[in-house]
Each structure stands twice: as structure tokens, then as C-alpha cells.
Structure 1
Amino acid sequence: MLNAKNISVHYGRQRILFDVGFRAEAGALTAIVGPNGSGKSTLLKAITGEITYDGAVNLNGRDINGRKPWELAAMRAVLPQATPLAFPFTVAEVVRLGLTSGVSAADDGLVPQALQRVGLASYGTRFYQELSGGEQQRVQLARVLAQVWEPIAHCVPRWLFLDEPVSSLDIGHQLLVMQIARDFADAGGGVVAVMHDLNLTAMFSDQVALISDGVIIAQDAPEHVLTDDHLSHAYRCHLRVNAIPPAGTYLLPHLAQLAS
């Protein structure tokens, strides 16, 4: 279980998070949603130990501040919004970095498996900088998957922390990535994902935390959080859940699924 209590974050004199409480269960996909600048990514960086915070974060029963870096790397992998690389690494070399961070360094066979999982099986020898933004995003997902390939290790759940994992992807690859996250959770691992797409959030999440102005205003099952009142309050505009516009073309991706 992930349990964060009284998380506050300051950037200089500006306070970004205000005594936030957040929880996530292994075996579940928990989404963090909210408007731009609400504190979503800041909360993710706090619970992964990337930034300084006040409060306490417990992962699998222990405070993350009491764990060595290699212990955390063996237990959880973090996918940031962007991962620029200055050197001409091949795709396979980028994915292999996940093995050096995790506990499967001897199993180089995970590299092609991870690339196949994200739909890039033939990309191993290509240079990372030659890829599109969406392809680079999937390479980085393959890297973090290689780091925590088995969702449960020695009876202890592992975790994926994903910051806007589908932001650069077309709808087909969005579904692919979300299904990967869903499968990881269904196999016993924990997934925490910062999301913008509320339809994908509703489709794939078990729990949703809605954050606004540095405060979580609701955390529960999607049907209890993604409501007219909650969303209108958080996004400061009138929203109706599942309302179809009276004219024009409108896609409802909640019925979309990957082609077999």
C-alpha cells in the first residue's frame, strides 16, 4: 500500500500542496486528475521522493525516506513527463537502463520483451533521438517496465508511477499504454498515474484522486469522483458527465478497445 499523509510542498515562497492525504492500493490503478497547475505532478514527485516535502510517505509499510536508493529502484519505477537524452543512445540501450536500475540486470532478454509490449519490437537498433515524441514516450515506458517487470517480487508488490503517460500518443497507443498499466495492476502491482484524459481515467482506473489548487477534493471510485459537481468545481467550468453535444460530431472513447 502507498499511504501519503500531510504532504506539503513549497517552491520558494509559493506553497503548491496543502497537507495532502493520498492513498493507493497494490492491485489497483489510481489516477490523479485535475486542471493545469493544480499540483498533480508535484504530488507524484513528492510520493516518489523526487522533491523535498513535509509529511510522510509510506510505501509497502515503510517510510520512503528510510530506504536506500537501490531498495526503492527495486520496488518502484517512475515515468516522468519527458526524459531528454543528450547522447545518441539506441532504443535498446535506453531500455537497458531500466535493468541497471532494477534487480534484473542479468536478464537482457527483457529488453526485446519490453519493446514488444509497447509496440516497438523492431526499434532496438534505432537511435532514440530519431524517433517521434510518441515513440520516445513508449521507449521510456519500456524502460520502466523492464525495471519492475514482475508486478510482485518475493511476495511484495512493485509499483509504476506514471506522469501523463499518454500525453503524446494517438488514441490507439493511448489504449495500448493504459492496458499495459491495467494489466500490471491486475497482476498485483500498484499503479499511480497522473492523467488529463477523463474518459481514459474513467475507463481504466479503480480509484481517482481529484486535485484542485493543491488540495485533493475527492478520492474514491471513478463514478463517485467524476461527477458534474466535482468536475465543475475543480475545472471552474460547467461540465456534464456523459452529455452528448446537441449538434456536430463527437467521439465517445469510453467504448473504444484495442483491436485483437
Structure 2
Amino acid sequence: MIDAFEVTVTLGRRRVLDGVSFRAAPGKLTAIVGPNGSGKTTLLRAITGDLGYRGRITLGGEELSDIPAWRLALRRAVLAQFTPLAFPFTVAEVVRLGQIRKTAAGAPDLTSRALARVGLTGYAGRPYQELSGGEQQRVQLARVLCQVWEPVEGDEARWLFLDEPVSSLDIAHQLQVMQIARDFADAGGGVVAILHDLNLTAMFADNVALLAEGRLLEQGSAAALLRDDLLSRAYGCTLRVSTPPSSVPYVLPHSAQLGDGR
């Protein structure tokens, strides 16, 4: 379990997160949603131990600040929004960066398996810099999958933290990446993903945390949280949520209006 209690983050003179309490459970896909600048990435960086904060965060009941970096690396993997590489690595070399020694020894074909998982079979020898943005994003996903290839080790769940994992992808690859995250959670691991697409959120997330202006407005199931009044307040425009017979809510762009009616 990941528990955050009254987490506050100040960057420069700006309070980016203001007393946010948040929970994510293993075996579940938890989505963090909200408008630009609402503090989503800041919250993710705090709960991964990559950013200082005030308040309290625990991972499996253990204080995050007490867990050494090498142990965190064994328990969680982080896919950032953008991972710049200045050196001429091949795709395989990038993916291998995510392999810990024990995993690499036990699964020597892990690089090819991870690339196949993200739909990049045959890309191992290609220069990373020559790939499209979407292909690079999937290579980075293969890298973090290698880091926590088994969702559960012993009796301890491992975690995937994904910051906008589908931002550069076409529809088919968005669904592929979200299914990878869904499968990881279904196998007992924990997933926390920042998403902008509310419809993908409704399709795949077990739990949703909605942020706005550095505060948590509400956390709960997609069915309970994706509703007209709450989304319209968070995003500052009129939104309408519909529910088809499948009971999965969806948000139609053509029903969205700015505050002045445009």
C-alpha cells in the first residue's frame, strides 16, 4: 500500500501541493487526473521519493524517507514524461538499463521479451535517437518493465509509476500500453499513472484521484468520480459525462464548453 498524508510541496515561492492525502493499493490501477499545473507530476515525484516534501508517505507501511535508494529501485520503477538521452545508445542498451543483476541473470532474454511486450520486436539493434517519439516512449516503458518484471516478489508487491505514458501514442498503442498497466495490476503489482484522457481513465482505472490547484478534490472509483459537476469545477469548463449500457462513463469533447459559452 502507498499512503500519503497531508503532503505539501513548495517549489521556489509557489506551493505546488497543499496538504494532499492519497492512497494506492497493490493489485489496482490508480489514475491521477486533473488540469495542467494541478500538481499531478509533483505528487508522483513525491510518492516515488524523487522530490522532497512535508507530510508523511509510506510504502508498505514503511516511511518512504527511510528506504534507501537501492531498495526503492527494487520495489518500484518510474516512467517519466520525457527521458532525454545524449549518447548514441541502441534500443537494447536503453532497455538493459532497467535490468538489475539478479533479474538479468535469471532471465537473459528479458530485453527481447520486454520489447515484444511493447510491440517493438526487431528493434533491439536500432539507434534510439532515430526512433519516433512514440517509439522512444515505448522503449522507455520496456526499460521500466525490466526493472520490475515480476509484479510480486515473495510476498511484496512491486510498483509501476507512469507519468503520461500514452501522451505520444496513437490509439492502438495507447490501448496496448494501458493493457500492459492493467495486466501488471491484475498480476498483483501496483500501478499509479498520470492520465489526461478521461475515457481511458474510465476504461482501465480501478481508482481515480482528481487534483486541481494543488489540492485533492476527490478520490474514488471512476464511476463515482467522473461526474459533470466535479469535472466541470476541476477543469474550469462545462463537461458532460455519459454512461452507455456498459456502465463505463465517457466524456464527449463536443459537449465541452468554456465558461463564456464558446
TM range (shorter): over 0.9
- Whether the 8 Å contact between 1:74 and 1:103 is mirrored in structure 2 is no
Report how many residues are paired: 246
C-alpha distance in 2, partners of 1:51/1:246? 38
CA deviations 1:113-144 (Å, max 9, x no partner) are 00000000110000100000000000000000
C-alpha distance in 1, partners of 2:97/2:25? 27
Name the counterpart of 1:255. Answer: none
Change (3 A) 1:172 1:5: same
CA deviations 1:180-212 (Å, max 9, x no partner) are 000000000000000000000000000000000
Q: How far is 1:103 from its partner?
A: 4.4
SS at match of 1:15: strand
C-alpha distance in 1, partners of 2:157/2:102? 14
The 5 Å alignment of 1:199-210 reads 199-210=199-210
Name the counterpart of 2:153. Answer: 153
Q: After TM superposition, what 4+ stretches of structure 1 lie above 2 angstroms from structure 2?
A: 242-247
Name the counterpart of 1:238. Answer: 238
Name the counterpart of 1:108. Answer: 108
CA deviations 1:77-100 (Å, max 9, x no partner) are 000000010000000010000003
SS at match of 1:124: coil
The 5 Å alignment of 1:61-76 reads 61-76=61-76
C-alpha distance in 2, partners of 1:245/1:184? 30
SS at match of 1:98: coil
C-alpha distance in 2, partners of 1:173/1:204? 14
Name the counterpart of 1:258. Answer: none
Gaps of 5+ in 2: 243-250, 256-262
C-alpha distance in 2, partners of 1:190/1:34? 21
Q: How far is 1:105 from its partner?
A: 3.1
Matched, 1:13 2:10: no
TM-score (norm 1): 0.92
Name the counterpart of 1:186. Answer: 186
TM-score (norm 2): 0.91
CA RMSD of aligned residues (A): 1.4
Change (3 A) 1:163 1:245: closer
SS at match of 2:103: coil
CA deviations 1:138-167 (Å, max 9, x no partner) are 000000000000000011000000000000
Deviates most, 41-50 or 104-113:
104-113
